[in-house]
């Protein structure tokens, strides 16, 4: 089970600014534990979202129970993998024509 869930949704409002939100529920632990998890999620976002996030989209990181015990490197790897899943990957015109809008839209907002 991953240490967090990444939700991403394009805003489609013409603004290219990326927005990020963090949430950690009381199920994870007391305030000290929840704040520690949020600090780790903020550090991950600062490191990876600037270069791999989707412009003009809202990103939400939801902390999970296993995230506190995991080391930072494995959380970074998980976030990189999650961002690759939700980021539209169009490298050439042939693959752009092969991708239908329904398939591309299926990745958006998908829980990882």
The predicted structure's pLDDT at residue 90: 52
* Residue 87 or residue 43, greater confidence: 43
- CA atoms 58, 65, 76, 42: torsion sign: positive
User: 20-31: per-residue pLDDT in tens?
Assistant: 999 999 999 999
Give the DSSP H/E element, type plus range, for residue 57: strand 57-63
For residue 65, which phi and psi values (nearest 5 degrees)? Answer: -60, -40
pLDDT at position 48 over 70: yes
- pTM score: 0.72
User: 51-97: per-residue pLDDT in tens?
Assistant: 888 888 999 999 998 888 899 999 999 999 998 888 876 554 444 44
Ramachandran quadrant class, 29 (left: phi over 0; alpha: psi -120 to 50; beta: rest)? left
């Amino acid at each position: 089970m991953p240490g967090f869930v990444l939700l991403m949704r394009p805003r489609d409002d013409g603004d290219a600014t990326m927005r990020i939100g963090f949430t950690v529920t009381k199920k994870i632990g007391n305030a000290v534990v929840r704040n520690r998890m949020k600090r780790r999620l903020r550090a991950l976002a600062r490191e990876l979202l600037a270069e791999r996030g989707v412009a003009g989209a809202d990103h939400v990181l939801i902390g999970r129970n296993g995230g506190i015990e995991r080391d930072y490197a494995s959380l970074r790897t998980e976030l990189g993998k999650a961002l690759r899943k939700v980021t539209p990957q169009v490298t050439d015109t042939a693959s752009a024509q092969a991708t239908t809008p329904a398939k591309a839209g299926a990745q958006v907002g998908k829980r990882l």
